[in-house]
């Protein structure tokens, strides 16, 4: 008999005292265009945050770098003290 696949809820880990998501010096360029220039953020858990700015200011690039769709040129993203790094997430 084979094991059943994990349920979506079984893939999550409960963190009793989550730390803020911390972003330091996040930079991303596309050729000579600097889309993000040393972005620093600290996002507290359980709070609602907004990223605002005019068209072309790097909002989408920042979000894509935070979720792993883009690899930043420099800077760090930390969740609960663990640095997220490496290649973009698998699709």
C-alpha separations of 54 from 5, 21, 57, 64, 72 in Å:
44, 24, 6, 17, 21
pLDDT tens by residue, the chain, 91 residues: 566 666 666 677 777 788 899 999 999 999 999 999 999 999 998 899 999 999 999 999 999 998 889 999 999 999 888 888 655 555 4
Instruction: Quote the pLDDT of residue 57.
Output: 92
Contact 58, 40 (CB under 8 A): no
Q: Is the pTM of this model over 0.75?
A: no
Residues 6+ apart with CB under 8 A from 58: 28, 35, 36, 37, 39
Q: Which residues, 6+ apart, have CB-to-CB distance to 61 below 8 Å?
A: 28, 35, 36, 70
Q: In the chain, what is the straight-line distance between the N-terminal and C-terminal CA atoms, in Å?
A: 30
Return phi, psi of residue 63, to 5°. Answer: -65, -40
């Amino acid at each position: 008999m084979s094991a059943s696949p994990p349920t979506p809820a079984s893939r999550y880990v409960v963190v009793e005292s989550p730390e803020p998501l911390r972003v330091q010096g996040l930079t991303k360029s596309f050729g000579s265009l600097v889309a993000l220039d040393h972005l620093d953020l600290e996002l507290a858990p359980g709070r609602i945050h907004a990223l605002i700015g005019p068209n072309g200011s790097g909002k989408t690039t920042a979000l894509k770098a935070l979720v792993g769709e883009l690899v930043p040129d420099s800077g760090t993203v930390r969740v609960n003290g663990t640095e997220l790094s490496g290649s973009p997430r698998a699709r």
